[in-house]
A and B are shown apart, each in its own frame.
Chain A
Amino acid sequence: MTAPSLSPEDFQPLQSSVSGQQLSRPSLSYWADAWRRLKENPRAMASLGLIAFLLAFVSIGPYLWQVDPSAQDLDQIGIGPGADRSVTLAAPFQPWLPEQQATTLDDNMLGFTLAMPATTQAVRLVWTMENGTRYRLYRNLFDPSDTGSFGLPLAELDRSYFEDRLDLQAGTYYYSLVMLNADGSETTSTVTKDIQVTRVISAAEALQRGLIESEDDAQLGMALELAWHPLGTDYLGRDMLARLMYGGQVSLFIGLFAPLAFVLLGVIYGSVAGFLGGATDQAMMRFADFVVALPFLLFMILFKVIFGIGPGESGIWPMLVAMIILLWPAPARLVRGQILQIREEGYVSASRLLGGTTTYVVGRHMLPNTLGVILVTITFQVPSAIFTEAFLSFIGMGVAPPTPSWGAMCNEGIKSMLTRPHELMFPALLISITVLAFNLLGDGLRDALDARMRGAE
């Protein structure tokens, strides 16, 4: 070792400047430390933000978007988000007298033709008639030559015209006319026409919907805009956004309140069992085992019957009661295990030895040490409660129509999934986001509250 110029001063005793006992890090309380670690977890904080947003969506949302969730917009049934809202003002519906009107038929095999412009009031079709022949008319949303099937016929006719007024929406329809043999079987004489249906509205209707100020303003052919549904409407023409907000109130209420209630019940039961110990504990836990084995669905039915849920009633309470009565044993077991474990810990014995009363030991040691576990349990029970609501509503045992809930909306949306996917996707998305947020928050809380993780960076 090359010692660069050492002077005698170097060998003077060192003034002890720092105490060897100094603490390297400031001490934080358990909860402050947990909060600090939660804040450092970006996923947990993002999910916390997401949960705040969802709560605002269902609580403040209805004040910002004041649309009645049960009002039906019959002009716009089952439309997707961002659908065309334009509508043309037309004369009120007039009966059609096809015999009195001459129409130039198309030069196709059957002369199959649209008699006048197709509107949502009516689609009027004519064709050449061969005496004694019957025709079958089909209407499809997709080109039948692609799908290879006509589906169910619209009508079977022995005349040369047809007026379709069945549930017409703006868009393209494929009408197929098939000539029939004498025995009723289909011939190969088939013509398919794609027909653009435009949306029209009469002046009286426009006034009623508030689209024009008075009938004097109305001019035929005037372009108007129908009510706006940002997320579309469902199969009854109800506004999706409003329904999602109100449905969220039901889903989140059950999702948050049920876990709070049954975890609290479980905590009380479990801590009493753990505290008393011995035979009482054994008996209480055996009873909990039996309750776990009870079938959930059966109890749902029972409560529905007992509460006398009829049509038009929500059915939220029986679901809540059934969940509380059947789901408490899991948290009870958890808390009992914790209490039994903590009871044996050195610091509890030490506290007792130093003269701590039962209340003090419970309040100062047992509760704070189980609170973390309880909090994490509640967080993880929220997603499962939301799933349970959705599952029950899906199989028709949950909230009763017309009360919206995200699960019930999924149940309705699944029926028309192929043609109008938005009716299923929006509520499903909200359920998924909520469940995801609570799962991530639960993960974050568990990591943050795990005392073993303290100090581990």
Chain B
Amino acid sequence: MTDELTHPNIPVPEDLKGTVTLATWEKFYNWCRARSVWPMFFGLACCAFEMIAMATSRFDFARFGMEVMRASPRQADLMIVAGTVTKKMAPQVVRLYNQMAEPRYVVSMGACANGGGPFKEGYSVVSGIDKLIPVDVYVPGCPPTPQALLHGFVTLHKMIENTKYKDMIWYHNRGQGEEFAIPVLGPDIFDPRQIPLIQSEAAKTPVAANDSE
């Protein structure tokens, strides 16, 4: 367990190996962080059941230090977007993300959350949650098996372990992270960031948006 922490440039005497580990503080800090990620109990669709299956005894994500799923975003580090993000649900997903404390991570689980999935062609599905909030790890599959999701967590762990101090928000004393714009349910959903674009498009195209493709 401790071997993965050992700094390659600092030799540990042979007889102390396995007992003593010399690592940088950054590495140790990240190692601790990676092993105590608390996910939010937040399921959207089909994938949620594979997520719960991962939490139960066969795949048991407590082995990764994830232990409890928090129902409140304030107590969670990790949002697993498990399932189809519909337009009606999108404002809530973004609001939940805004409520999470830094450092926060997003795992996009399954085809629907990644890019719309089989329901992409439909009118009420957001084609990819990464249009609204930043995503750290994408787990493909429809639905990903619990093991595929665990592989996503292994990927996330590696990412956390390779984070640098100076990339962290608290290091720059910026306090809370960025607030992301919450989409509004209009005649169709719209992102406040896109208002100028929508206005210019509306002025540009006198034909119905249906025919604009």
A and B together in one complex: no
